[in-house]
Structure 1
């Protein structure tokens, strides 16, 4: 990928993720306004744009577009309304992570997201039920902290403690 194209794609991904974050804040702060509908439309448009990028250039891994844009692509993917896109990208992210072209953490998040959406146990415990603040079912829970450590995550109980304190992970401020 030529550097100018990589910069343009990176800028587009970051811009789209920033726009969604802004709408998420508005929807959270003023749920009676137009924000929830605008957020749904934004996520659909972001998913369509990401699908086009992936079809043309492959997964926007860190080695291609930089860490901020690759993380933005992951956030767009996690909020996409298309499970088929998520499943296809999950496999691309797995290869990129195995090759060292993006963080293994990216694969952990999308792998767990897809597992939960398919009604399967997750591997890393990154998906938490918002009603209970407990993780959705985890495959082999006795070894989850080893898998989490392998991808750069702290212990699951620590994540849950932070979540219950309102300071967990990727929470928007």
Structure 2
């Protein structure tokens, strides 16, 4: 039921166990490379529909209990909940989406950068956990030479798996393999 590619770094932000040396920085580097790679030439409502439907297809093929959301500003362009998704997933979708929109980077990267600084962003009084979540699963939709214009969010799996499922679908829509970004 995992959405993780087999070559994903061993860093697990959900684990309290000791992490492999350098794995946090490796995962941050990988996500930064994904940002550079996953640039759309434009992003229309049809593009949002295609991306959302691909996520539904992947989720159904793998029997994943996920909620899927694509939002542009205040407009929801796509939203679906697959069997097994719960009302809690809706809370996580909104909180992760707000984080990715606010910082204009993937929500997983926001959380990882906090850890790289020696703590957790959630431990800062100014980080409102009732509105934001620095957990993986929300990725901005970047348009080349424009920047972030929307967000795509998945909730229902462990946060790194949510993130990787979004990346897989974005690559599918863009027709990229990710190999250039990983080198």
Task: Identify the structure with the greater strand proportion.
Answer: 2
Is the TM-score greater than 0.5? Answer: no
TM-score, structure 1 normalization: 0.34
Task: Identify the structure with the greater helix proportion.
Answer: 1
For CA contacts below 8 A with separation 6 or more, give which structure has more relative contact order.
Answer: 2
TM-score, structure 2 normalization: 0.33
| Structure with bigger gyration radius | 1
